Structure 1
Amino acid sequence: MSAAAILQAARVRGILIATAESCTGGMVSAALTDVAGSSAVFERGFVTYTNAAKMQMLGVRAATLEAHGAVSEQVAAEMAQGALTHSAATLAVSITGIAGPGGSEHKPEGRVCFAIAAPDRCTTQTIEFGALGRAQVRQAARDHALGALLAALTP
């Protein structure tokens, strides 16, 4: 899967893309904007590393963060939906996770939650990448998010 394929599929379908990233810190946005002509379909990216940023920039609810924690499918869904609400995009991907080092018994290192949102739907997924190391978890999360975008664009 390549960023160029994602951008071409979005261009053909007339879709604008937004990203909402936490643990990847903009890596998905960077992968997409590395491709010349990406401005035709990449609308914007949000890097919301803190809970405050998630609430202020994307409208993630404090109650959701309190009930489920930042690394949860519920927060990933609100991040993706917030990216749509706060942009002109028609497709958004979000990522929130624990790249490491660290984690806990209930939220281990390498757990990353994703969401893909469109105006009429939102799907979520949790992937356990394991304690691969910070850089490897972030790269794996970036690649998974790019794959999810391509899948959402491919009927």
Structure 2
Amino acid sequence: MYVTMDTIELANQVLEIAREHDYKLATAESCTSGMISATLTEIPGASVSFDRGFATYSNEAKSEVLGVPAEMIKEFGAVSEEVARAMADGALAHSNADFAVSVTGIAGPGGGTQEKPVGLVHFAVSSKQYTQSHNKKIFAAMDRENVRAATVEHAIIMLIEAMTQKHFISTE
């Protein structure tokens, strides 16, 4: 796994915020296949706040484990805003988490198209308290390892923003 010390520091930050507010976290990962979970659990004491991670690399796993409708994957593709949102909601529904982050993308080197290039990643964060957040990034001109590392970093930043209520609107 290739993540920077900056990413480890962000992971430490997200876990500190979670501990302060007694939040539980979950991940739903496709293109990173567990790297976000692994980064969070690099931090001693992560078990206080990290509930579980779902590595749902295949379309079948997305449907079977997270409840993402197969029809949705067929209509929009596994790498889409709709699927990222459904993955985050599924992780929240199938865990004890207060916040769940999901990622689905094309890390490369193959698999990209003109509409969905290598480096495209969709992110979503779902919460029991706030409206869902989505973000789309294209990590262009990066190799597979760096696309995945950048995805981990951005997902953790999105969790920090969600837990500190930046860019979120309360549903209450």
1:51-97 CA-to-partner distances (Å, cap 9, x unmatched) read: 00000000000111011100001000000000011111110000000
1:51 to 43, 52, 59: 59
Q: Given the alignment of the two structures, is residue 152 of structure 1 paired with residue 171 of structure 2, yes or no?
A: no
> Which of residues 70, 73, 94 is equivalent to 1:65?
73
Normalising by structure 1, we get a TM-score of 0.97
Matching of residue 39 in structure 1 with residue 51 in structure 2 = no
1 CA distance for matches of 2:162 and 2:134?
Answer: 12
Number of residue-to-residue matches in the alignment: 155
Matched with 1:108 is 117
Secondary structure of the residue that 1:124 maps to in structure 2?
Answer: strand
Letter in 2 for 1:37: G
**1:154 Cα deviation from its structure 2 partner:** 1.5
Unaligned runs of 5+ in 1: none
Q: Which amino acid aligns with 2:123?
A: F
Quote the residue 1:130 is aligned against: 140
Could you tell me whether the CA contact under 8 Å between 1:43 and 1:88 is conserved in 2? yes
Write the deviation string for residues 92-145 of structure 1: whole angstroms up to 9, x where unpaired: 000000000121111100000000000242111110111411001000000000
SS of structure 1 residue aligned to 2:132: strand
User: In structure 2, how many angstroms separate the alpha carbons of the residues matched to 1:85 and 1:153?
Assistant: 18
- Gapped regions of structure 2 (runs ≥ 5): 1-8, 166-172
Runs of 4 or more consecutive aligned structure 1 residues displaced over 2 Å after TM superposition: none
The CA deviation at 1:151 is: 1.0
How big is the alpha-carbon RMSD for the aligned residues of Structure 1 and Structure 2? 0.9
Q: 1:19 touches 1:28 (CA, 8 Å); kept in 2?
A: yes
